[in-house]
Amino acid sequence: MVKGRDQLLKEKRQRERQKEKNQRHKRTIIMSTTIFILLVVVVVGIVMVQANKNQASPPTKTSTAPPPQSTQAVPSNTIDISGQPTLGQANAPVSIVEFGDYRCIYCKQLEETIFPKLKKDYIDTGKAKFTFINFTILGPGSSLAANASEIIYHDYPNYFWEFHSTLYHNQGNENKKWVTKSLLTKIAKKTVPNLNVQKFKDELNKETYNNNVLKDHELAVNLKLTGTPDLYVNGKAIADPLNYQLIKAAIDNALNKAGN
């Protein structure tokens, strides 16, 4: 049977429509796949950026950020504060110990925001004493600054805290080598009346008290510290040394235990 011309044309149009339909379907699949791939790329990108951000955020082991602290109690007698600058009454029931680095920005923050409150509420009232121990983890500048503070502590103990706090106030950018012998001498002159400038310079050049800096470092390493600042209240590590309420609670708890 021979198909009519109209019938042939109809079949041809049907085939063409089917072809078009198939092509549209193909295009739809390609577009959906492309959109899906783009979405996956965007999501993976966001996740990676977020992960990098988290990595870049403090704390890290070598940065100056407050490190993750062990809240495990360390008996206070394991932190030997003999030969360390200590402010307050020797027989105060609570012993607060800071491990710090003069180049650490969070240590400066502790010095400027936390320490004045501790001094007013607990040290000046005879409830606590405060000890500073060097933990030099930020390079040669940290060690040089610590050496200068040990010189002041040994030669002019009454002016240690003034020198210590002025040094923090003069802290430079953490990415720059701001600790210099001339800056340390300038701060020593400013904070110590009748400073023997030549002796100070000689001791700084010879690193006369470097063994004390190394001894401090050893104390920190024995406590498995990984960053600065670290704060201990009667031997118990404070999880966040920049949280005054947390420190206050630990001190009040220690005072209660001591029957005060």
List interacting residues with Ca ion (CB under 5 A): 84, 216
The residue at minimum Cβ distance from Ca ion is 216
Report yes or no: 231 and 67 within 8 Å, Cβ to Cβ.
no
Distance of closest approach, residue 219 Cβ to Ca ion, in angstroms: 9
Q: Beta 128-134 vs 94-100: how paired, if at all?
A: parallel
Distance of closest approach, residue 220 Cβ to Ca ion, in angstroms: 11
| Residue 233, H or E segment | strand 230-233
Distance of closest approach, residue 209 Cβ to Ca ion, in angstroms: 8
> Which residue number, 69 or 84, has a Cβ lying nearer to Ca ion?
84
CA angle 227, 232, 236 (to 5 degrees): 115
> Which residue number, 97 or 255, has a Cβ lying nearer to Ca ion?
97
Report yes or no: 227 and 98 within 8 Å, Cβ to Cβ.
no
> Which residue number, 32 or 222, has a Cβ lying nearer to Ca ion?
222
Distance of closest approach, residue 251 Cβ to Ca ion, in angstroms: 22
What does the radius of gyration of the chain's CA atoms come to, in whole angstroms? 33
> Which residue number, 106 or 132, has a Cβ lying nearer to Ca ion?
132
> Which residue number, 154 or 248, has a Cβ lying nearer to Ca ion?
154
> Which DSSP letter does residue 238 get?
P
H-helix segments, the chain: 5-56, 105-109, 115-118, 140-155, 160-169, 181-191, 197-206, 210-222, 244-257
Distance of closest approach, residue 205 Cβ to Ca ion, in angstroms: 20
